[in-house]
Structure 1
Amino acid sequence: MTANTGAASARGRGTAGRTTAPGATDRDTDVVIAGAGPTGLVLALDLARRGVRALLLERARGLFPGSRGKGLQPRTQEVLDDLGVLPGVLAAGTSYPRMLAWEGTERRGEWDMIERSEPTEQVPYANTLLIPQSRTQELLYARLTELGGAVRFGAELTGLAQDEDGVAVELSGGETITAACLVGADGGRSTVRRALGIRMTGETVDPRPMLVADVRIAAGAVTDRDHWHVWRAPDGGVALCPLPGGDGLFQLAATFEDEAATVDTTPEGVRTLLTTRTPLSAEEITAVPWASDYRARAALADRYREGRVFLAGDAAHVHSPAGGQGLNTGVQDAYNLGWKLAQVLLHGAPAELLDSYEAERRPVAAEVLGLSTRLHRATADGAATQRGKDVQQLGLGYRDSALAVDTRPETPEDTVRAGDRAPDGPYGEGRLFDLFRGPHFTLLTVGATDAPPSLPPSVRTAALPPYAPYGPGVFLIRPDGYVGWAGTHADATLDTYLTAVGLTPAGRTRAEVTAA
């Protein structure tokens, strides 16, 4: 493995933007993405719809086969809505069942692990959706291919080198691929991160080993498909969550009290564990399609970028599975990075725009890591901790970002500010999310009489009557659904903001706006 950051590293993090002008045809592609998990697939999909050439590499021969990250939070559902994937996801998923505690064959009580909410005008997707990670990836992959993208399976990244002109990616077969940028979305043991020498700082959340597996259970067994079944035993607990699909598949999660325990992930080992700790017989466990063991850890990459190379998803942060945060945080990393790469690579945005990726996403990951660690430890201590709105990721935002500019003198506490998620609401015969859907920016005028300024075609304009969640004003909605700029009216600060993200008001040159 090699990693040569060269001049890009020496000159600091702003280097990537210097060589991103359109027309760099000597490169094999614009962006190489390592890892075709949810994070890599979302990034490739987002870049494809923006016209950015991207090559998605996956060292495995196919997509990940297991259910591991089975919960899609409301904010992630909004992302998938924008990407055109949500209808298939909703059809393939279901709501989380109630928990059911057992003692042998005796029922000992039910409860909801996840707080349930009703959809509202502002939050159309109010609850966590249960869907196996493998099915989510299949739907993302199908959408990617619809847009002309592809995954190169069996392609393992073994090294990289970069300079001011680009990144050279080395593959195991000896091939070298050149690109403007590289994104490591290759998991917690990221080859890209290790090649860059970026440390992960963190802690062991729980030293005890755990097992997660997919098991198929015969109809008529004690495990009905209306509950998430839980047994506790002296040597560890077992939870069996029914997975949607009607084929008898459950996700098994098992804990071990002995820190030195050896976890047997073979089908025979999984069957033995279940028959030992539950009333299930070996004959009722008809298949074990996938199994893995792990120890819960929380860690955060010391930085998300080195020159032209970026980290996303588990390559940048690893979580306990408690609260269902890991996959969702990775998807939103990709959603944040995709539009910024496109603006720099295709539309001449300043290089500094790419600095905002780490500035915005790393603090979010730190907050989410803390949440998932607290939930894991509370559950491990025997508390029936309910997951509330704090796991939904709807309240995460970027108010402290350089890309959050709010020029209004004051706003009520309950109205949207720059850096906040732009809420849904009625718009004509549809919804604001219909207006926002797509790779464009949106300039939204709410309860104001000023006509919207003349803007480039990549900015969609719309006017709303007074709508309380926003309050009166003008709002520039970023392509990832966050308010970038807000003011009482469109003024020169909006022009400056547009230039910073690679846009120019119609009829004015970039130099004129900058001079103003």
Structure 2
Amino acid sequence: MTRDDVLVVGAGPTGLVLALWLTAQGVKVRIIDKAAAPGTTSRAMAVQARTLELYHQLDLAEAVAEAGRRNPALNLWVRGRRKARLSFGSAGAALTPYPFLLIYPQDQHEQLLASRLEAMGVAVERQTELLDFEDRGGHVAARLRGPGGEVQGHEARFLAGCDGARSTTRHRLGLGFEGGTYDQIFYVADVEAGGPAADGELHLSLEQADFVALLAYGRPGQGRLIGTVRGEREAAETLGFADIGQRAIESLGLRVERVNWFSTYRVHHRVTDHYRRGQVFLLGDAAHIHSPAGGQGMNTGIGDAVNLAWKLAAVLKGQAPDSLLDSYEAERLPFARRLVATTDRIFSLVSAEGALADLLRIRVAPVLAATAFGAGPAREAMFRLLSQTGIRYREGPLSRGMAGRVRGGDRLPWVAWDGGDNFAPLRRIGWQVHVYGTARDGLRAWCEGNGLPLHVFAWHPRHGKAGFARDAAYLVRPDTYVALAEPEGEAASLARYFSERAIVPAGA
């Protein structure tokens, strides 16, 4: 009988990120996957800015950004004409170091994450399946089937189910997965193409008959087409690329020269009842699935993993009580519900059929999008939503205070200046304090006495523009969200924050 701190079930991006972040914090991890080998087709494609910000912690951001293709803008096409170009750079340049939509095929993404994990001493155990488990209070006893069909026992303090929409973990917990399945059937095709839309940007064609999105990646002319199958739905599984409607593709002026991969699938929208049951947790598609609108799915699973990883590490090291783990569900479940509702509305708009739907999609939506993107606040709001930089936990149990426009639960705002930015210290996975202006002597002494890094940045008008208050203290969590915003910069407020939650202010 072997035993680890955390048994991670599923080696997709969510499970790999969880294993990486736990291992980086000194947690003993075992990660298994029932597949014989990693996937070889490009499934999830979009890597959002917030994911790249989190990847900065393990020096992954630049490697991923360089390996993928930066799509700098979204273009809306109707009846062969480009109606709007929405620039991610103009919308996000002041918000994040990554003001673009990165397209990086999931199979390549997983390979990079797995290789980084193996370099840290942890290899994915393939052809190893979770059969069952029992939560025994202080630990989980699991039954696994190995590559040769042998059944083995394994014990872990915690079990993390990152095993997808058909999650064995969720089924064994008996948790619900409320939601439904859309009537429409989608197709995906990896293609090599030419024409005006094969320019390395994101293109969306809205037509009466169908719609299609083109996401550029890889070498010039290579991209992923995503569209709906109209009619012949009963036989959709037998269709090939030549069978689907070409009107939306042709409206982009796109010449498809080669199809490397094609598939059809149905789209679901579901969220589980709970993210935690005792010593067992659900993450990623095991907890929530939704339409591909906005490229949110994989990024949301990665966000789940980073949120949970530091909390598990703190509890396992005796730096926090078990109750800290309840905040994982309290923070991530409400976000998943909002996300499913938002992507449902977007999906319904682009895929609905009928005269009214055509009117809204073809005539109204492009005009509204272009108008909204022309206004600064609306443009930034749209970028925050798509990039996930707008995710916050203001109502969560770990969020307190307000200083300037920054509140506890907000993502730490990014501010850059000549030669640096305030995200540089976030490479450290651990608690830290930021002051923009001058730090009080008492705060300095308290942070030094408690081993808490204090980063003081000389005041700059850009700090105020980003929402910071001068001389205030911002307690930053290990996942780079603000836990406490203390307007007076008083050490007593920080001491009280940790004392009330029985958390030791230490990092990895």
TM-score using structure 1 length: 0.81
Equivalent residue, structure 2, for 1:3: none
Partner in structure 1 of residue 168 of structure 2: 191
Matches within 5 A, 1:106-125: 107-112=80-85, 115-117=88-90, 120=93, 122-125=95-98
Tell me how far 1:258 sits from its aligned partner: 3.1
Per-residue deviation, 1:182: 0.6
Counterparts of 1:222 and 1:399, CA distance in 2:
44
Q: Which residue of 2 aligns with 1:364?
A: 335
- Superimposed CA distance per residue, residues 87-119 of structure 1 (whole angstroms, 9 cap, x where no aligned partner): 11111221155547486xxx4335336654355
| CA distance in structure 1 between the aligned counterparts of 2:211 and 2:419, rounded to whole angstroms | 51
Alignment check: 8 A CA contact 1:427 1:464 kept: no
Seen in structure 2, the aligned counterparts of structure 1 residues 313 and 481 have a Cα distance that, compared at 3 Å, is same
CA gap of 1:250–1:120, structure 2 versus 1, over 3 A, is: closer
Amino acid at match of 2:477: R
The residue identity in structure 1 corresponding to 2:66 is: A
User: What do the CA deviations read for 1:14-70 (whole angstroms, capped 9, x no partner)?
Assistant: xxxxxxxxxxxx852111111111111111110111010111111112222233221
Cα drift, residue 461 of structure 1 = 1.6
Partner of 1:23: none
Residues 284/36 of structure 1: CA separation in 2 closer, same or farther (3 Å cut): same
Of 180, 186, 211, the residue aligned with 1:210 is 186
Count of aligned pairs: 464
Work out the CA distance in 1 between the residues paired with 2:209 and 2:94.
47
> SS state of the match for residue 486, structure 1?
strand
1:450 to 438, 441, 455: 441
1:348 Cα offset (Å): 3.6
Give the Cα–Cα distance (whole angstroms) in 1 for the partners of residues 204 and 95 of structure 2: 35
Match of 2:316 in 1: 345
State whether structure 2 residue 70 is matched by structure 1 residue 94.
yes
Aligned ranges 1:54-73 → 2 under 5 Å: 54-73=29-48
Q: RMSD between aligned alpha carbons? A: 3.1
1:49 corresponds to 2:48: no
Q: How many angstroms does 1:200 deviate by? A: 1.1
CA contact (8 A) 1:442 1:462 kept: yes
In 2 relative to 1, CA 501–476 (structure 1 residues): closer, same or farther, beyond 3 Å?
Answer: farther
Pick one of 263, 266, 269 that aligns with 1:294. Answer: 266
The partner residue of 1:310 within 269, 281, 299 is 281
Equivalent residue number for residue 489 of structure 1: 489
2:479 is the alignment partner of 1:480: yes
Query: Displacement, 1:254?
Result: 2.5
Counting only pairs closer than 5 Å after superposition, residues 22-171 of structure 1 correspond to structure 2 as 28-92=3-67, 93-96=69-72, 98-99=74-75, 101=77, 107-112=80-85, 115-117=88-90, 120=93, 122-171=95-144
- Displacement of 1:455 in angstroms is 4.4
Q: Would the alpha carbon gap of residues 277 and 404 (structure 1) be closer, same or farther in structure 2, given more than 3 Å must change?
A: closer
Aligned ranges for residues 381-460 of structure 1 at < 5 Å? 381-382=357-358, 383=361, 384=365, 386=369, 388-406=383-401, 411-412=403-404, 415-426=405-416, 429-446=419-436, 447-451=438-442, 452=444, 453-455=446-448, 459-460=452-453
Q: Distance in 2 between matches of 1:239 and 1:121?
A: 27
Which string of whole-angstrom CA distances, capped at 9 and with x for unpartnered residues, describes residues 230-269 of structure 1?
66787644444332234x5321213123374322367xx2
Task: Determine the C-alpha separation between the residues in 2 that align with 1:501 and 1:262.
Answer: 58
Amino acid at match of 1:89: V
Distance in 2 between residues matched to 1:290 and 1:31, nearest whole Å: 37
- CA-CA distance at 1:341 after TM superposition: 0.3
2-structure distance, mates of 1:118, 1:303:
35
Change over 3 Å in CA distance of 1:274–1:58 after alignment to 2? farther
Structure 1 position 302, deviation (Å): 0.6
Structure 1 position 275, deviation (Å): 7.1
Aligned residues of 1:237 and 1:256 also touching (Cα < 8 A)? no
Kindly state the Cα deviation for residue 177 of structure 1 after the two structures are TM-superposed.
Answer: 1.6
> Are residues 99 and 497 of structure 1, via their aligned partners in 2, closer, same or farther at CA, if it must alter by over 3 Å?
same
Separation in 2, partners of 1:159, 1:36: 18
For residues 376-400 of structure 1, the C-alpha deviation after alignment (integer angstroms, 9 at most, x for no partner) is 1122234246564322222221111
**1:128 partner letter:** L
Give the match for residue 378 of structure 2.
none
Q: Distance in 2 between matches of 1:505 and 1:199?
A: 37
What amino acid maps onto 2:484 in structure 1? W
Please give the per-residue CA displacement for 1:319-341, whole angstroms capped at 9, x wherever unaligned. 11111111111111111000000
Structure 1: how far apart are the matches of 2:23 and 2:451?
16
- Structure 2: how far apart are the matches of 1:146 and 1:232? 45
Q: Distance in 2 between matches of 1:227 and 1:122?
A: 21
Report 1:173-252 matches (<5 A): 173=149, 174-204=151-181, 206-217=182-193, 224-226=198-200, 236-246=210-220, 248-252=221-225
Q: Secondary structure at the match of 1:263?
A: helix
**Amino acid of the residue matched to residue 489 of structure 2?**
H
Alpha-carbon distance in structure 2 between the residues aligned to 1:133 and 1:114: 24
- For residues 379-430 of structure 1, the C-alpha deviation after alignment (integer angstroms, 9 at most, x for no partner) is 2234246564322222221111111122x6xx44xx2111111122358953
* 1:461 and 2:462 aligned: no
* Alignment check: 8 A CA contact 1:235 1:256 kept: no
- Equivalent AA in structure 2 for residue 344 of structure 1: V
| Conservation of the 8 A alpha-carbon contact between 2:17 and 2:113 | yes
Q: Which residue of 2 aligns with 1:503?
A: 504
- Worse-matched range after superposition: 225-234 or 322-331: 225-234
Please, which runs of 5 or more residues in structure 2 have no aligned partner?
352-356, 370-381
Q: Which residue of structure 1 lines up, in the alignment, with residue 376 of structure 2?
A: none
